[in-house]
Amino acid sequence: MNQQTALITGGTKGIGKAVAQRLLSEGFDVLLTYGSDIQRANEVKDELASAFPSSRVYILQADISDLTSIDLICDYVSDNGLSIGSVIFNAGLTDRTDFHQINPDEWKHVFDANVHFPVFLLQKLYDQMQPGASVVFTGSLMGIHPHSVSLVYGVTKSTVHALVKNLVKFLAPKGIRVNAVAPGFVDTEWQKTKPAKIKANINAKIALGRFCEPEELTDVYLMLVENKYINGEIITVDGAYSYK
């Protein structure tokens, strides 16, 4: 059994929750952060704690758009004596305000959450991370293909992919590896407001003709946590988008 703790941001729903379940099933302890849905967070804590009684499930509210959450997380890690062996930067924000209307505060809000928060959390958490730890970002296919609606989302996810490559050198002294998974379209609450017609248009572009289930991504996250030589990679999992 592997009792190192994996920190997963946005670990109470969607992709983050699926990754948490997978890591728990492999014997990891998990620290799951979330933004605002306290009721769901408590339900998930109870659900996972009873499904995986030999592992520890810690839950912490920590808004990624507020950089003071960085101290909150680091203090929680040290107060609970956690040994962080992997960090999954999964939570992300978008802003669909029209390009001609978006203001600098709204733009910065998304940059704070998707880019500044992971950079400065890593800076502060570095000493509390185990040598040989693994950092995995959730990037996006929309960081590779230009986004048709949200400029700031596409640019921040491209930046996340660039961060992976650029962080390698700075984390290598401690043997810490850094990679990203770039999912295509995943059937989570994130996508729930997308009209059926738009979903059908997207499915028509995907060779497999459907959205990904969050559980179908978890093999890739587990591999990036456990493999000791993959470093600086962005792994796209999109069912072959635009092959049709």
Ligand X SMILES: NC(=O)c1ccc[n+]([C@@H]2O[C@H](COP(=O)([O-])OP(=O)(O)OC[C@H]3O[C@@H](n4cnc5c(N)ncnc54)[C@H](OP(=O)(O)O)[C@@H]3O)[C@@H](O)[C@H]2O)c1
Select from 7, 63, 112, 221 the one that contacts ligand X (CB under 6 A).
Answer: 63
Stretch that binds ligand X, among 51-59, 180-188, 201-209, 224-232 (CB under 6 A): 180-188
Site track for ligand X across 141-170, x = CB under 6 A: ------------------------------
Residue 203 binds ligand X (CB under 6 A)? no
Stretch that binds ligand X, among 4-12, 73-81, 118-126, 220-228 (CB under 6 A): 4-12
Q: What is the DSSP letter of 146?
A: P
Q: Which positions ≥6 away from 87 have C-beta within 8 Å? A: 6, 7, 121, 122, 125, 129, 133, 134, 135, 136
Residue 111 binds ligand X (CB under 6 A)? no
The order of strands in the sheet holding 177-183 is 57-61, 29-34, 5-8, 84-89, 129-138, 177-183, 234-237
Whether the Cβ atoms of residue 113 and residue 92 lie closer than 8 Å to each other: yes
Determine the size of the site formed for ligand X (CB under 6 A): 31
Q: Which H helix or E strand runs over 120?
A: helix 117-125
Select from 5, 6, 7, 15 the one that contacts ligand X (CB under 6 A).
Answer: 15
Enumerate the H helices of 11-84 as residue ranges. Answer: 14-25, 38-51, 69-79
Closest C-alpha to 133, from 93, 89, 92, 166: 89
205 pairs with which residues across the strands?
A: none
Residue 138 binds ligand X (CB under 6 A)? yes
Q: Which residue has tokens 């700031």?
A: 152
Select from 5, 6, 16, 161 the one that contacts ligand X (CB under 6 A).
Answer: 16
Stretch that binds ligand X, among 14-22, 47-55, 119-127, 223-231 (CB under 6 A): 14-22
Select from 6, 183, 221, 231 the one that contacts ligand X (CB under 6 A).
Answer: 183
Residue 118 binds ligand X (CB under 6 A)? no
Site residues, ligand X (CB under 6 A): 9-16, 33-37, 41, 63-65, 90-93, 113, 138, 140, 183, 185-186, 188-191
